[in-house]
Amino acid sequence: MAIAVGIDLGTQSVKLVCYDFVNRRVAGSASASLDLRQDGEGVAEQHAEWWLDALREASRRVDPAVRERAAAIAVSGQQHGFVALDATDAVLAPVKLWCDTSTAVECEEIMLAFGGRKACIERAGNPIAPGYTASKLRWLKKARPHLYDRLDCILLPHDYLNLHLTGERCMEMGDASGTGFLDVRRRDWSRDMLRAIDADRDLSDCLPSLRIGNEAIGTLRTEVAEELGLPAGIPVGIGGGDNMMGAIGTGNVRPGKLTMSLGTSGTVYAYADRPVVDPEGNIAAFCSSTGGWLPLLCTMNCTVSTELMRSLLNADISAFEEQVAAAEPGAGGVITLPFFNGERTPDLPNAKGCIVGVDSRNARPENLLRSSVEGATFALKFGIDELAGLGVDVEEIVLTGGGARSAEWRQIVADICEAPVVVLRQDEGAAIGAALQAVQLIETGASIEELVDAHLEKDDGRSCEPRNAAVNTYRECYREYRRAVAALTAIYA
């Protein structure tokens, strides 16, 4: 039994997957939960040491006999988080995460210094969105100047785990494109954007080397191997952001497929063999971790919406499924605008969640629960429509993330998005994508496309097709949702 290890550093947990790539099965997996510090001002932070503690805990929960057969590792990580290091690799401050919207002012300051939002898109490929790393960097200079003066290296969460595993500082193109200061067309740091962040300091001195394509960045350090129960000296791959690893883990490495991730955040993305830059800035012009590009839309409230509503109505998972199924498509006219944590798309960092269309006839638990699912899905349908307008074809949707476990939600996605929905038997998402990247370090002659074809399998029993009657209903519901979003934008923009 030969094992490839995929590590996924998420917002809520760290997961470790041990993939037996000879027999093509998951030989062991475990996760350990993470705390998240949030407040009413948009702050969302974690301590980097929590990630290391959770990684150790997840490792201990996997059979030692499986761990000791590991032959390679790769890491997936939540995007955008700002890990500030000093010259000794010590972390200077709590890590502001992708869902931190407290730096909206800094976003505007950076874009103004660069020449405006349009100039950012035209010259670097992306505007500076709330959540991107760039604004967190400027915030540190303003709010913690004594720490900023000691800043020696800028890393992202998955880069920090790579550093812990190997002692190497580096950054991968896909994850780097979510910083806001990578020119995604040229795949190089934007010196002009770095100057817009800080005109008084050459921030390029704090940036690690950029890597493109999967390669071993180093080997597992002996002391870390002992902590994790893994063999010392095995190669560690370049890894990538969770969306980039999720693309590999869902077979999204060629044009035509679209991945929809139903997690804490919601994402839709598709592989492209050319840079795809949205002149409106709704679609992020990211690079992939497989040598191409990964145009992507991210919402900050996906399962956030459904979990809040489940908690409010005291509905466990079983009751949630039953009540969502009991409501008709359109939830009796109830529309949820799921902007509970502010929102990135649309660009409303100060927005609040709203439920509209409630009256004395439809104010029922099943409608509120179904509406929370529909609202989160409508927000992602907008991304699919935007991608289509940029020439990105979608033949089928591959679902991943926690929400994909819901049969009702899978069918709602098919009906709203008017496309076949596919679920894979290997439903570990980003973790299995990282594991396949690790496999490539061992099977050096195999392309990532060949590995995806060989190791990923469709689950016919959980896949579904759109239903004509529901499709027609949802076309009108989506128009009403967009009208409601426009009204809310006028309040919170």
Q: Which residues are catalytic?
A: 242
Contact 180, 128 (CB under 8 A): yes
Q: Quote the CA–CA distance of 99 and 40 in Å, as a whole number.
A: 13
Strand, coil or helix: 489: helix
Q: Which two tokens stand for residue 424?
A: 């894979």
How, if at all, do strands 266-270 and 293-299 pair?
A: antiparallel
Other beta carbons less than 10 A from residue 43's beta carbon: 16
Residue 254 phi/psi, 5-degree rounding, is: -140, 155
Instruction: Give strand pairing partners of 258.
Output: 270, 397
Q: Quote the CA–CA distance of 338 and 306 in Å, as a whole number.
A: 9
Where b means 16+ CB within 10 Å and e means fewer, 217-250 reads: bbbbbeebbeebbbeeebbbbbbbbbbbbbbbbb
Residue 67 phi/psi, 5-degree rounding, is: -60, -40
Q: Which two tokens stand for residue 233?
A: 């000296």
End-to-end CA distance of the chain: 55
Sign, CA dihedral 20-21-26-31, equals: positive
Sign, CA dihedral 176-181-182-185, equals: positive
Instruction: Give strand pairing partners of 262.
Output: 266
Burial class (CB in 10 A: 0-12, 13-18, 19+), 102: buried
Find tokens 């290296």 and name the residue: 153
Among 139, 151, 155, which residue's Cα sits nearest to residue 79?
Answer: 155
Instruction: Give strand pairing partners of 295.
Output: 285
Amino acid identity of residue 214, one-letter, is N
DSSP string, 86-134: -TTS-B-SPEE-TT--TTHHHHHHHHHHHT-HHHHHHHHSS---TTSHH
